[in-house]
Structure 1
Amino acid sequence: MLSPRLSPSPARRRGRVGRAVAAALVIGCSTVLAQTAASAAPLYPVADADGFYGTPDGLAARSPGDVLAVRRMPPLPFFPNTAVWQIAFRSTNSQNAPIAAVTTILAPENRSPNGPLLSYQHIVNALGTRCAPSRALYTDDPDLTIREAPALNIALARGWTVALPDHLGPDSAYGAARLGGQITLDGIRAAQRVPELALGASPVAMAGYSGGGMATAFAAALAPAYAPELNIVGVAEGGVPMNLGKMAQALGTAPHPVFGLALAAAIGLEREYPNQLPVSDQLNARGIAMRDAVANACTNQILATGAGHSAAEISTTTGLLDSPAAAAVLADNSVEDYPGVPTAPVFEWHSPTDALIPVDSIDATIRRYCRAGATVESELFPSPDHLTTAVLGAPRALEYLDARFRGEPAPRNC
């Protein structure tokens, strides 16, 4: 059932991720061994005043993907001839507890009933819930511009319906990749359960790059066990940080211009794993102040706050990578360590010289998928940096998914 047309609460964010999740874990993993006088509980984002994002009574009795609320939203000028909907639905967090999540649906005028449905996992480097796609779409803040709009408009012009899940969840748990995969799959389920959208029998594809690629890759690997009923015909995942532990080891603790993203990922993972990764309890006074400054921030503010800083100057100890609890958190959010194998065809792309992510982990994961019989096409795009690779690979990713929607056999280059 539909609720009345409501004005959305604002906000939007943008992207970058590689080092963030890595260093994040360096902080989280290098600060959990000692108690400090300035102990502190995890700091969660400010609750949204919009009741649409609240947790309804009886959530535990609902099934993953069940629709909790639906509303029609005002049209967006950068997505012409497209209706916008938002769906609140039941999902599951990393502790297997029920949560309420949200996805935004872009429905083009030229779509057909049960036509293609693309779930696109946007790059979200943020700790504030106002930075999530559902809020970010309705803000004028230049920090929150949807930079993927051109590619999404190509999909919409083809008549595809596009789902944009808030895949960091209700606590904006930046870095929690497994959570993102579960929210992605449940968001697809929810979209297909709204009669007005006519998506019940739609073929489904998923796509995302970098942080959005982590959610996408985890969704693909989780789907056979977590959502086997979904008809996922293709997956496009690029620049995926496949192993957070290796990223943390490689990055180290030296000062860095994007240290803010590292701190953000540590805070986000603490929100999702407060007992296993008690980051706040191990920060010194400077660290607590920096954490508080970014607790509700989007990308630009996070970057500005952390620029040139390091884990060593904000923590009270070093060397948590040997902590079993911390190692378990890293493994739980590393696609390379997850034993599941996608059954949907996968197009994967990255740069062979990407300095932000462990390329050997991508190669190892793809080799494992191939040995298990998965249909994978992997393509290299030599480029100077992580984000340039996203732009270079996007046209091929769209072509790949278009062919899957048309029913063409998927290529395999294992």
Structure 2
Amino acid sequence: MRKALAVAAVVACSMILEPMTSTAAPIYPVSDPDPFYAPSNDLAEHAPGDVLSAREMPPLPLFPNTTVWQIKFRSTNSTNRPIAAVTTVLVPANRKPNGPLLSYQHIINALGTQCAPSRALYSNDANLIIREAPALNVVLARGWTVALPDHLGPGSAYGAAKLGGQISLDGVRAVQRFPVLGLARSPVTMAGYSGGGMATAYAAALAPSYAPELNIVGVAAGGVPMNIGKMAQGLGTAPHPVFGLALAAAIGLEREYPDRLPISEQLNAKGLAMRNAVANACTNDILTVGAGRSAFEISNTTDLLASPAAVEILDDNSIEKFPGIPTAPLFEWHSPTDALIPVDSIDSTMQRYCAAGAKVQSELFPSPDHLTTAVLGLPRALDYLDARFRGEPAPSNC
């Protein structure tokens, strides 16, 4: 996420502290013309994870010898309201009934719903997942079924970690409840890096209370921003090359908490213009619009972290602050010199898990930047999950 969540937290906190300068309402993504994504009128009648509809999709050259399904299912947003979400399921030709199931939470730096995996894989922006395709093809060749949830939800709420965790868990439920796939009794693993790692790690901590029936045998989460409030304190609001992602995350959090985080009402004319320009954008356009900008340009601020509402929302989306303890074995990896995430928050979270009896394997991959660490650690993470599928005892270096 390249500082996106961190700077976004600064932006979000700062904006809600300013006196009202406009009456602008939150801005949401445009409706998708594909009726598959249309809201369901009977959501409240379904349980989280229930399948609402499903369809087989055309094959993807990126994943040969693989059948592709998309499943729409009922999930829950950050304020406990029912929503419809989507996961894309890659089914290898050699998969066995009730064989291994991996839920892979991809990094999605976007506000437009067309940027989510289910849409981007069938668009000109399929490069969304090209970096991970080689590793995913390895596990597909092993017979694993891979689910790729649109974990930002139907409103593309970039930055909402709790939402991502819930959608990811409900996506697994939906895959297992879809009888065509024959995975009702499959062992499950979850994996992701950076923003995808945040959704993955939140899902792991949330699973014992939110989805205790799932047989999650292992989790791998890397480069996780465990405390976005602390990231906000550390990075400030100076002009930054990826400020567009920061603004996008502020808009995403407003979408998820419109009654508590009135971002749009705090924006000046320049801020509203930038907001409107990125409201339906994917990563590259967001970066272009915000390059070199800062929070002070779009809303004059003085105190960034004084608002109780801001602190509460940041805590709600910070895994370090969430009291849940994963019961599934956890592999965690990061660079000890990663300047984009608070490494001390990773350490304190893992120490808390260890003290509670969780099985945690933490590994360091020294590298010059955040995304390089993903490439270095992903093969090791998938090998760790493979061992869990084989039933090997989970290692721990607590």
Which amino acid in 2 is paired with 1:197? L
Match of 2:78 among 90, 94, 97: 94
Residue 345 (structure 1) aligned with residue 324 (structure 2): no
Aligned-residue offset at 1:38: 2.8
> Pick from 131, 145, 151: which aligns with 2:135?
151
Partner in structure 2 of residue 8 of structure 1: none
The change in CA–CA distance for 1:123 and 1:66 in structure 2 (over 3 A counts) is same
Whether 1:128 and 2:128 are equivalent positions in the alignment is: no
Runs of 5+ in structure 1 lacking a partner? Answer: 1-16
Residue 176 (structure 1) aligns with: 160
Is 1:253 the counterpart of 2:237 in the alignment? Answer: yes
Matches within 5 A, 1:67-86: 67-86=51-70
Instruction: Give yes or no for the alignment of 1:119 onto 2:119.
Output: no
- Percent of aligned positions that are identical: 75
Match of 1:393 in 2: 377
Q: How does 1:2-151 map to 2 (within 5 A)?
A: 17-141=1-125, 144-151=128-135
In 1, Cα distance between the equivalents of 2:171 and 2:316? Answer: 21
User: In 2, Cα distance between the equivalents of 1:321 and 1:37?
Assistant: 19
CA contact (8 A) 2:120 2:126 kept: no
Cα deviation 1:82-138 (Å, max 9, x = unaligned): 000000000000000000000000000000000000000000000000000000100
Distance, in Å, in 1 between the alignment partners of 2:125 and 2:354 is 43
Shift of 1:208: 0.1
d(CA) in 1 for partners of 2:38 and 2:85?
9
Alpha-carbon contact 1:103-1:164 (below 8 Å) kept: yes
Q: Please list, as runs of the form range in 1=range in 2, the aligned pairs for 1:272-291 lying within 5 A after superposition.
A: 272-291=256-275
Letter in 2 for 1:253: T
Shift of residue 143, structure 1, vs aligned partner = 5.9
8 Å CA contact 2:18–2:299 kept in 1: the answer is no
For 1:39 and 1:379, the matched residues in 2 are separated by 48
Query: Which segment is superposed worse, 342-351 or 19-28?
Result: 19-28
Residue 267 (structure 1) aligned with residue 282 (structure 2): no
CA distance in 2, matches of 1:271, 1:125: 15
- Is contact 1:21–1:244 with CA below 8 Å preserved after alignment? yes
CA distance in 1, matches of 2:71, 2:126: 25
Aligned to 1:11: none
- Secondary structure of the 2:22 match is coil
- In the alignment, the residues of structure 2 paired with residue 224 and residue 144 of structure 1 have an alpha-carbon distance, to the nearest angstrom, of 31
What TM-score does the superposition give when structure 2 sets the normalisation length? 0.99
Of 214, 219, 223, the match for 1:230 = 214
* Post-superposition offset of 1:61: 1.3
Return 5+ residue gaps in structure 2 as ranges: none
Deviation digits for residues 358-398 of structure 1, max 9, x if unmatched? 00000000000000000000000000000000000011001
Q: Which residue of 2 aligns with 1:209?
A: 193
Tell me the distance in 1 between the aligned counterparts of 2:87 and 2:282: 19
Q: Deviations over 1:326-360 (max 9, x none)?
A: 10110000000000000000000000000000000
Tell me, yes or no, if the aligned pair for 1:115 and 1:161 is still in contact at 8 Å.
Answer: yes
- Residue 320 of structure 1 and its aligned partner are, at CA, apart by 3.8
Contact 1:206 1:236 in 2 (8 A): yes
Question: Per-residue CA shift, 1:158-179, capped at 9, x if unaligned?
Answer: 0000000000000000000000
> What amino acid is aligned across from residue 248 of structure 1 in structure 2?
A
Alpha-carbon separation, structure 2, partners of 1:305 and 1:341 = 39
In 1, distance between residues paired with 2:37 and 2:396?
41
Alignment partner of 2:83: what SS?
strand
Residue 347 (structure 2) aligned to one of 348, 363, 369 = 363
One-letter amino acid of the counterpart of residue 125, structure 2: D
SS in structure 1 of the partner of residue 200 of structure 2: helix
Per mean C-alpha deviation after superposition, the further-off stretch among 182-191 and 24-33 is: 24-33
**Distance (whole Å) between structure 1 residues aligned to residue 126 and residue 195 of structure 2:** 20
Tell me, yes or no, if structure 1 residue 327 matches structure 2 residue 311: yes
Q: How far apart are 1:22 and its partner, in Å? A: 1.0
Contact 2:56 2:70 in 1 (8 A): yes
How far has the Cα of 1:19 moved from its partner?
1.1
Q: Which residue of 2 aligns with 1:308?
A: 292
Q: Is the 8 A contact 2:2 2:242 kept in 1?
A: no
Alignment partner of 1:402 is 2:380 = no
Please say if 1:294 is aligned against 2:278.
yes
Structure 2: distance between partners of 1:157 and 1:144: 21
Partner amino acid for 2:62? F
Partner AA of 2:373 in structure 1:
T
Q: Counterpart of 2:63 in structure 1: which amino acid? A: F
> 8 Å contact 2:92–2:143 — kept in the other structure?
yes
CA shift digits 1:173-220 (9 cap, x unpaired): 000000000000000000000111000000000000000000000000
Residue identity opposite 2:274 in structure 1: M
Q: Using the alignment, how far apart are the partners of 1:226 and 1:397 within structure 2?
A: 24
Q: Supply the RMSD in Å over aligned alpha carbons.
A: 1.0
Specify the SS of the correspondent of 1:138. Answer: coil
Distance 1:82 1:41, change over 3 A: same
Q: What is the aligned partner in structure 2 of residue 3 from structure 1?
A: none
- Alignment coverage as a number of residue pairs: 398
8 Å Cα contact 1:105/1:161 also seen in 2: yes
**Cα contact 1:223–1:342 (8 A) shared by 2:** yes
- What do residues 141-165 of structure 1 show as CA deviations (whole Å, max 9, x unaligned)? 3664532111110110100000000
1:218 is the counterpart of 2:202? yes
